[in-house]
Structure 1
Amino acid sequence: MKLNHLNLTVNDVKAAREFLENYFGLKTGNMRGDSFAALFDDDGLVLTLMRGAQVSYPKTFHIGFIQESEERVNEINQRLKEDGFHVEAPQRAHGWTFYVEAPGGFTVEVLC
């Protein structure tokens, strides 16, 4: 069985949606103003974003986007840096990985 739906509560649906579209290729399929968006990937994932007044995820909570190569991880890391996001260089942990705080109040891991 495959997990293929996740809902995130975010404090800015538009900014979170644009971030996920821009850096991870998700496509928006349904929106309700600035309070809801449904995004889809090419593998059947449905990621919904719902606006919440106060977003407070546990410190270790994150979602991840697994890439096909270290080069791709490095490319995304560099692009985020160039666009003004604070990201550390990728490092070897449980793969080649780094984390970024996404607009909307959640953390994203990029790894291979």
Structure 2
Amino acid sequence: MRLNHLTLLVDDVAGTRDFLQKYFEMKTMGKPNDHMSFLTDDNGMVMGIFKSKGAQYPEGFHIGFIQPSEEKVNEIHQQMIRDGLEAESPRKLHGSWTFYYRCPGGFLVEVLH
């Protein structure tokens, strides 16, 4: 069994979509717009991103992108820094090399190995 799809509610559909495409190589499905977009990954998981004014996620809610190496985690982090994002530095946490970043959609993204 594998996760098939996930829907997230966000204030900024385009910003969230662009962020996930740029840093995590997610690909757009269909015709995206500012009210909803669908993304997919290399494993066929589909993420729906829907506009919702004032969407709030509980503390600790996050999505994670597992990377093949600590070097890849560092590479993504450095790209974010070069792009002017204020991402916390990667560190050893719960047995993983990881960092978190609050994306334009308002939820946390974890990047880990």
**Superposition TM-score, scaled by structure 1 size:** 0.96
The equivalent of 2:71 in structure 1 is 71
- Give 1:55 deviation, angstroms: 1.3
Q: Matched residues in 2 for 1:32 and 1:38: separation?
A: 7
User: Counterpart of 1:7 in 2: which secondary structure?
Assistant: strand
Does residue 59 of structure 1 match 2:59? Answer: yes
User: Counterpart of 1:75 in 2: which secondary structure?
Assistant: helix
Percent identity over paired residues: 50
- Give 1:32 deviation, angstroms: 5.1
Is residue 100–residue 111 contact of structure 2 (8 Å, CA) maintained in 1? yes
Alignment of 1:82-97 (within 5 A): 82-94=82-94, 95-97=96-98
- Superposition RMSD on alpha carbons, in Å? 1.0
User: Counterpart of 2:20 in 1: which secondary structure?
Assistant: helix
Could you list the runs of 4 or more consecutive aligned residues of structure 1 that deviate by over 4 angstroms after TM superposition? none
Specify every segment of 5 or more residues in structure 1 that has no aligned partner in the other structure, as ranges.
none
Q: CA offsets, 1:63-87, max 9 Å, x none?
A: 0000000000000011111111111
Letter in 1 for 2:41: D
Distance of aligned partners of 1:102 and 1:88 in 2 relative to their CA distance in 1, 3 Å threshold = same
Is residue 57–residue 107 contact of structure 2 (8 Å, CA) maintained in 1? yes
Specify every segment of 5 or more residues in structure 2 that has no aligned partner in the other structure, as ranges.
none
Q: Matched residues in 1 for 2:89 and 2:7: separation?
A: 28
**Superposition TM-score, scaled by structure 2 size:** 0.95
Is residue 63–residue 109 contact of structure 2 (8 Å, CA) maintained in 1? yes
Q: Matched residues in 2 for 1:89 and 1:16: separation?
A: 21
Q: Matched residues in 1 for 2:32 and 2:112: separation?
A: 31
Q: Matched residues in 1 for 2:32 and 2:69: separation?
A: 36
Is residue 32–residue 38 contact of structure 2 (8 Å, CA) maintained in 1? no
User: Counterpart of 1:86 in 2: which secondary structure?
Assistant: coil
User: Counterpart of 2:60 in 1: which secondary structure?
Assistant: coil
The equivalent of 1:24 in structure 2 is 24
The count of residues paired between Structure 1 and Structure 2 equals 112
User: Counterpart of 1:103 in 2: which secondary structure?
Assistant: coil
